[in-house]
Amino acid sequence: MIEVDLLSPGVARKPAWLRVSLPSGAEYERVKARVNALSLHTVCKEAACPNMAECWGAGTATIMILGDLCTRGCRFCNVKTGNPRGAVDWLEPLRVAEAVRDLGWKYLVVTAVDRDDLPDGGALIFANTVRAIHERVPGARVEILSGDYRGDLTAVNIVVDARPEVFAHNLETVRRLTPHVRDKRAGYDQSLKVLAHAKSRAPNRYTKTSLMLGLGETEAEIETAMDDARAAGVDIFTMGQYLQPSKKHLPVVEFITPETFKRLGEVAARRGFHLVVSSPLSRSSYHAEQAF
């Protein structure tokens, strides 16, 4: 097995616990071939996720709909930024459902680039994707990793009313760092409002959020974010290490140790979340099916 640390020029070398395996294996190749054949994007590849080898090897992935061009420019994200000019592939939900059926997935995370160029921010195609999967693959569960729709709660309703089993939206970082880390159209309180509304709209379904650590936040600020998430009704809380995709992105301030992640996970669990996932390589969709 070959291991790499996913370095880019100018990016600080990662500690040993962040070394990952190169993607390989028959199941990984099968997933890759089917996803490519259906002209689908995965956040695994676009965001350079360190867990791609493990997840694809296990036959799961996070599908990214609405193209690979994001209208926002968050300083941590590796997805391309630009203006898609209203382009929408309305047949994409059917292809996603076809992939779920063909690959035998029972749990799929569906995310998307931010689409501020669309009146509904892409909410309708999110909803169409959930319904297409449920209709064509009975018993499959769908987690939506949603944007904030610039705080438009009508758009949130469109997505929630499609009945995804989990509605996820990421805070990404603590309140103080949000203006420095995220696009100016995002906001800490705006994200909490979206999460709280999604929970109130569907109280019997799960909501979820995630933090990246290592950007200069304090443990007190992390604990405040936990409290804010619980106050918004969030059920599932995840934490993982921020990894700088390239030298043009925000640098890592600190590599958090596995022991610290474990302790912070225990702190979060005491808040009463249904599920807490906390480790250096955790991402918002990593082992997402554990909630069930």
pLDDT of residue 1: 35
Identify the domain containing residue 51 by its residue range. Answer: 20-208
Please tell me the predicted confidence (pLDDT) of residue 269. Answer: 98
Which of 82, 63, 85, 87 is closest to 72 using CA atoms?
82
Q: With a threshold of 0.85, does the pTM exceed it?
A: yes
Say if 263 falls within a structural domain.
no
Number of structural domains in the chain:
1
Residue 273 lies in a domain: no
Residue 6 has a pLDDT of 46
In a domain, 253, yes or no: no
Give a yes or no: residue 289 inside a domain: no
CATH number at residue 47: 3.20.20.70
For residue 62, tell me if it sits in a domain.
yes
Domain membership flag for residue 91: yes
Q: Is residue 258 part of a domain?
A: no
In our burial notation (b when 16+ CB lie closer than 10 A, e otherwise), range 81-117 reads eeebeeebeeebbbbbbbbbeebebebbbbbbbbbbb
- The answer to the question of residue 197 being in a domain is yes
Please report the pLDDT score of residue 8 as a whole number. Answer: 47
- pLDDT value of position 287: 60
pLDDT for residue 19: 77
- 62-65 and 41-42 strand pairing: antiparallel
Q: Across the 292 residues of the chain, what is the mean pLDDT of every consecutive 10-residue run?
A: 43 77 68 74 61 62 89 94 96 94 88 96 98 96 96 98 97 98 98 98 97 98 98 97 94 97 98 96 70 65
